Amino acid sequence: MNNVRDFGAVGDGVTMDTAAIQKAIDAGGMVNFPPGTYLTGTLYLKSYGGLHLEQGAKIVASSDPADYNADDFCVQNRPRYHEEASGAHLIVGVEVSHVTISGDGIIDGSRKAFQHTPLPSGKYEVDKWRPAQMIYFVESDHINIRNVELNNAPYWTCFIHGCEDVTIYGVKIFTEWRTRNGDGIDIDCSCRVTVSDCIIDTGDDCITLRADLQQLKNQDRPCEDVVVTNCILKTCCNAIRVGVGSGIIRKAVLGNLVIRETRTGICVVSKYGAYAGVNIHDVKFHDIIMECKRPFLIQSSIKGPLDAEEQHLIDLEFTNISGSADRGSLIQGNPGYPVKRINFNNLNFVYHGGEDITEQPYYTEFRNNCPPEAFHIENAEDVCFDKLRIDWSKASDKFTHTASTRACKNIVMKEVSSERPNLEK
């Protein structure tokens, strides 16, 4: 390994070590960081190499915009102006192969340098400039991120975009909940990806599966063959989000998860914002314990049922999921374009609260209200609940039903245990 100190890195947390670290990277192979604090701007990784951080080693992001890549440094990159983020990154891998980030050290994105003033909403105000994704791999393959801590990202923590054969194992991610857009791991248009044995505590989505083809050179990149397992997730937003973009998400399995202190456990939405919508199918969730406000949000559009054609959202399966909640789950297609073939097997939830229940013409992810049932189902076909148990003993009497349906076909409920009425047509 190339020792960064042999290339002039000081590691005192004050000296800017960018040039020395980049020289070590450019020399080829793995780069080793002995104990110390290494202040740096953007680092450009090379194929068949990477970074290894010994215990006690910390890479810390510079607070100076001049130390980062330009927004147009590669054709795949783009600023996120709508979220007040630039196109800058701390660690970059563009069209690289066989790259590893490993070790028992820490990579710190210096969030406080870019967001430190709380807004009335509770989130931090974004200063005039902030970097985008802290770790950014695009159209790369055989990427391995193992055991490191990724802390205090000013935006998303780890972005895997248009990549193949990616392993993320044993990683700890912490982003304070007040961090705006503080995602954990975003897997976008990537295939053969495994995420396992990670602990993620973030200010936005913990893990996302996305299909945003914009900017990629290869426009034929579905997000597929993804496995997420053995992780502990905590967030004020969604523990798991599936959706965003205009491509395809398919063949994914997410299971053996513990979700705690979270707003939404599992969010699957085809159309988000100005995107055309994602074709989502063959996604399975299993063996999950969740402590959340809302267990499931499954929607064609983030704005609720719209009179518009939708992308396919079919063949979802949820098995062996239990926990606590205080808001009803939403399953909503569009009029004439239903969500289809959704199976729930062996669900067991204890419900609390219910004070924010209000009758509404529609419900969405971002409206702070709740339907008066555990499952609000609208514009859906072939939805099956097999072994559903709801304990209402700690919930408000405002919850009136186990489930309600609007404009649905073939909703099946088998072996339901609940003292509230099972189904309202």
Q: 183: closest CA among 214, 164, 208?
A: 208
Q: How many residues does the chain have?
A: 425
Cα–Cα dist 160/136, whole Å? 6
Cα–Cα dist 154/180, whole Å? 8
What sign does the CA torsion over 109, 113, 117, 119 have? negative
Q: 396: closest CA among 351, 359, 358, 360?
A: 351
Residues 6 or more apart in contact with residue 308 via CB below 8 angstroms = 301, 334, 337
Number of H helices, E strands in the chain: 1, 33
Question: Domain ranges in the chain?
Answer: 2-236
What are the two backbone dihedrals, phi and then psi, of residue 35, each rounded to the nearest 5 degrees?
-50, 140
Query: Strand pairing of 36-40 and 57-61?
Result: parallel
Q: 296: closest CA among 335, 262, 334, 273?
A: 262
Cα–Cα dist 291/234, whole Å? 9
Distances (CA, A) of 14 to 9, 36, 390: 11, 11, 56
Cα–Cα dist 219/290, whole Å? 36
The per-residue DSSP string of 347-394 comes to: EEEEEEE-TTB---S---SSSS-B-SEEEEEESEEEEEEEEEEEEEEE
Query: Strand pairing of 97-103 and 106-108?
Result: unpaired
Q: 48: closest CA among 141, 134, 136, 137?
A: 141
**What pLDDT was estimated at residue 351?**
96
Cα–Cα dist 209/245, whole Å? 10
Give bridge partners of residue 61 from the DSSP assignment: 40
Coil, helix or strand for 150?
strand
**What pLDDT was estimated at residue 425?**
55
Residues 6 or more apart in contact with residue 267 via CB below 8 angstroms = 205, 238, 240, 241, 242, 243, 297, 365
Threshold 0.95, pTM exceeds: yes
Longest dimension (CA), the chain: 72
Coil, helix or strand for 65?
helix
Cα–Cα dist 161/183, whole Å? 14
Assess contact for 87 and 134: CB atoms under 8 A: no
Whether CATH 2.160.20.10 fits 2-236? yes
Distances (CA, A) of 190 to 74, 120, 135, 157: 18, 37, 15, 17
CA dihedral 365, 367, 373, 376 (to 10 degrees): -50
Find tokens 């994105």 and name the residue.
Answer: 109
| pLDDT single digits (tens) 166-206 | 999 999 999 999 999 999 999 999 999 999 999 999 999 99
| Tens-level pLDDT at each residue, the chain (425 residues) | 999 999 999 999 999 999 999 999 999 999 999 999 999 999 999 999 999 999 999 999 999 999 999 999 999 999 999 999 999 999 999 999 999 999 999 999 999 999 999 999 899 999 899 999 999 999 999 999 999 999 999 999 999 999 999 999 999 999 999 999 999 999 999 999 999 999 999 999 999 999 999 999 999 999 999 999 999 999 999 999 999 999 999 999 999 999 999 999 999 999 987 788 999 999 999 999 999 999 999 999 988 888 888 889 999 999 999 999 999 999 999 999 999 999 999 999 999 998 889 877 778 887 767 899 999 999 999 999 999 999 999 999 999 999 999 999 999 999 999 988 887 75
